Amino acid sequence: MTTSAFAAQGADLELVGIQKRFPGFTAIEHLDLKIPPGSFFALLGPSGCGKTTTLRLVAGLEEPTAGRILIGGEDITGKKPYQRPVNTVFQSYALFPHMTVLENVAFGLRRRRLDEPVAKAHEALRLVELDHLAARKPQQLSGGQQQRVALARAIVNRPALLLLDEPLGALDLKLRRQMQLELKTIQEEVGLTFLHVTHDQEEAMTMADTVAVMNKGRIEQMGAPEELYELPKTAFVANFLGQSNLFTGPVVGSTSEAIAVGVAGQRIVVPTARAHRHVGEVTIGIRPEKLSLHLSAPAVDPARNTMGPGRVIDVSFSGVSTQYLITVPHVGTLIVFAQNMAFGPVAEEGGEVWVSWDIEHGFGLEDEPADTPRFEADTTTRSIAAQRRASLITELEEV
């Protein structure tokens, strides 16, 4: 077994009150983070939110303006990159083009003057199944192979903490999914702490033990993937991690069990335990796959919320499931996902439908509804044709 060589256990990482200012720009406002040893931690967030900056701070490639960084309990804030027990798999891989694959992998070992760098490098290459290409130059490898060499080059050092900055970003979808599986398997095998940065929500959810969603230099929410997905705290998380149907309205009634929110004259019930705000205006949500479509008004069921009638304005088949866009007057456009368990759509475009969902599946956000930062439409990159469609929807709604 090759595992033996990588017996070193991962260490935990702690960021305390980290702030990072660039001239004229504050990339990270105030960041506290604790990653347990041996875990696969995914840092997720939109472009420019500060993910790479966070990683570079941990690696020592940037200095924090304020705050402390601890690895395995030891404060390493002042240490130089080459003194830190941390290695990075860069998005661009940054494989040294003038060295062979083997030399690349042995580089770190040689710098630390460890014994048998070549043997250990071969072992790491065997782990990523590339030992037969040890003599090649990086340019002679495919993207997927390069990614694995970068991984081997980092892992071979048995760092307490492995940083991965979108290592899969450059791969096409198919290869990417395959690599995700492998990366996860390798992490389980070597038992190191992985801090994985990505902006692909599916990647984060399928790979990580813990996911943190970052936004504008802050961690918005952090937890197990299912926890985050099923109970998002903010509108940003609700829409960044998958899609959500969100409604805003006043709390019109509440028991210890549940609160009722008035949305366009309909009472929508959400379990108290799943709602972060219990009085005043609140925003509540439901995931598209939790919605059931009905072609006639469903019977009243106290365990379910109902909404409708609405009109189907778009049906789009994507293989596994079909996506329906439904406009409900005075509420807005709802998205419904229905798995294609049978042939053909459940509802036709233009048809009248109702939707319902189990009360237990709703969630209530923590955001002030006023400044709920809904995911804004990127109007500058929307064509007139697409905008016309949008305005048609609005017209339709107002009828």
Partner 1 sequence: MVPIVYTFIFSFNDSQKSNITWRGFTFDKWLNVCNVQNGAVCEAFGNSLIIGASATVAATALGTMIAIAIVRYRFRFRSKVSLLLFLPMATPEVVLGAGLAAQFLSVGVPKDIVTIILAHTMFCISFVVVTVKARVASLDPALEEAGRDLYGSPGQVFLRITFPLLLPGILAAALLSFALSFDDFIITNFNSGAVTTFPKYIYISASRGIPAEANVVASAVFILALVIVVSAQVSSAARAKRLAKSG
Partner 2 sequence: MAFAAFATTTSEAEQVPRRKSPVALLLLLPGILYLVLFFLTPLISLLLTSFQAPSEFGDIGQYTYAFRWENYLQVVTDYLPHILRSFGFALIATVLALVFSYPLAYFIGVTARPWPLAQSLMLVLVIAPFFISFLLRTLAWKQILSDESFIITSLKAVALMAPDAHFTGTPAAVIFGLTYNFIPFMTLPLYTTLERLDLRYLEAASDLYAHPVEVFRKVTIPLSMPGIVAGTLLTFIPAAGDYVNASRDFLGGPDSQMIGNVIEANFLVLQNYPAAAALSIILMSVILIIVSIYVKRAGTEELL
Ligand X SMILES: Nc1ncnc2c1ncn2[C@@H]1O[C@H](COP(=O)(O)OP(=O)(O)OP(=O)(O)O)[C@@H](O)[C@H]1O
Interface residues toward a second copy, by CB under 8 A: 2, 126-129, 142, 144-145, 148, 172-173, 175, 178, 181-182, 185-186, 189, 199-202, 205-206, 225-226, 229-230, 241-242, 287-290, 292, 316-321, 337-344, 358, 360-361, 378, 380-389
- The least distance separating a second copy from the CB of residue 359, rounded to whole angstroms, comes to 12
Q: Which is nearer to ligand X, 47 or 381 (CB)?
A: 47
Binding partner 2 (rule: CB under 8 A), the pick from 34, 111, 278, 382 is 111
Binding partner 1 (rule: CB under 8 A), the pick from 28, 33, 44, 86 is 86
Residues within window 27-66 making contact with partner 2, judged by CB under 8 A = 59-61
Residue 264: which of Mg ion, partner 2, a second copy, none does it interact with, CB under 5 to 8 A by kind?
A: none
Binding ligand X (rule: CB under 6 A), the pick from 4, 47, 139, 256 is 47
Residue 385: which of partner 2, a second copy, partner 1, none does it interact with, CB under 5 to 8 A by kind?
A: a second copy
- The least distance separating partner 2 from the CB of residue 93, rounded to whole angstroms, comes to 9
- The least distance separating partner 1 from the CB of residue 178, rounded to whole angstroms, comes to 19
Applying CB under 8 A, the span of 7-15, 89-97, 118-126, 313-321 interacting with partner 1 comes to 89-97
Residue 201: which of partner 2, partner 1, a second copy, none does it interact with, CB under 5 to 8 A by kind?
A: a second copy
Beta pairing partners, 214: 219
Letter string b/e over residues 189-225, b meaning 16 or more CB atoms within 10 A of that residue's CB: ebebbbbbbbbbbebbbebbbbbbbbbbbebbbbbeb
- The least distance separating partner 2 from the CB of residue 99, rounded to whole angstroms, comes to 8
Query: Would you count residue 45 as binding ligand X (CB under 6 A)?
Result: yes
Q: Which is nearer to Mg ion, 50 or 288 (CB)?
A: 50
Binding partner 2 (rule: CB under 8 A), the pick from 6, 41, 107, 194 is 107
Binding partner 2 (rule: CB under 8 A), the pick from 112, 330, 382, 388 is 112
Q: Which is nearer to ligand X, 50 or 249 (CB)?
A: 50
Binding partner 2 (rule: CB under 8 A), the pick from 4, 7, 82, 378 is 82
| Secondary structure of the chain in HEC code, one letter for each residue | CCHHHHCCCCCCEEEEEEEEEECCEEEEEEEEEEECCCCEEEEECCCCCCHHHHHHHHHCCCCCCEEEEEECCEECCCCCHHHCCEEEECCCCCCCCCCCHHHHHHHHHHHCCCCCHHHHHHHHHHHCCCHHHCCCCHHHCCHHHHHHHHHHHHHCCCCCEEEEECCCCCCCHHHHHHHHHHHHHHHHHHCCEEEEEECCHHHHHHHCCEEEEEECCEEEEEECHHHHHHCCCCHHHHHHCCCCEEEEEEEEEECCCEEEEEECCEEEEEEHHHECCCCCEEEEEECHHHCEEECCCCCCCCCEEEEEEEEEEEEEECCCEEEEEEEECCCEEEEEEEECCCCCCCCCCCCEEEEEEEHHHCEECCCCCCCCCCCCCCHHHCCHHHHHHHHHHHHHHHC
Query: Would you count residue 88 as binding Mg ion (CB under 5 A)?
Result: no
Query: Would you count residue 201 as binding ligand X (CB under 6 A)?
Result: no
Q: Which is nearer to a second copy, 64 or 232 (CB)?
A: 232
Binding ligand X (rule: CB under 6 A), the pick from 49, 207, 268, 291 is 49
Binding Mg ion (rule: CB under 5 A), the pick from 39, 52, 54, 234 is 52
Binding partner 1 (rule: CB under 8 A), the pick from 2, 3, 140, 178 is 140
Binding partner 1 (rule: CB under 8 A), the pick from 24, 80, 256, 339 is 80
Rg over CA atoms, the chain = 25
Sign of CA dihedral 109, 110, 111, 113: positive
CA–CA separation, 309 and 312 (whole Å): 10
105, 252, 320 from 100: Cα distances, Å: 9, 68, 43
User: Which residues make up the interface to ligand X (CB under 6 A)?
Assistant: 22, 25, 27, 45, 47-53, 199
User: Which residues make up the interface to partner 2 (CB under 8 A)?
Assistant: 22-23, 59-61, 80-83, 86-88, 90, 92, 94-99, 107-108, 111-112, 153, 157
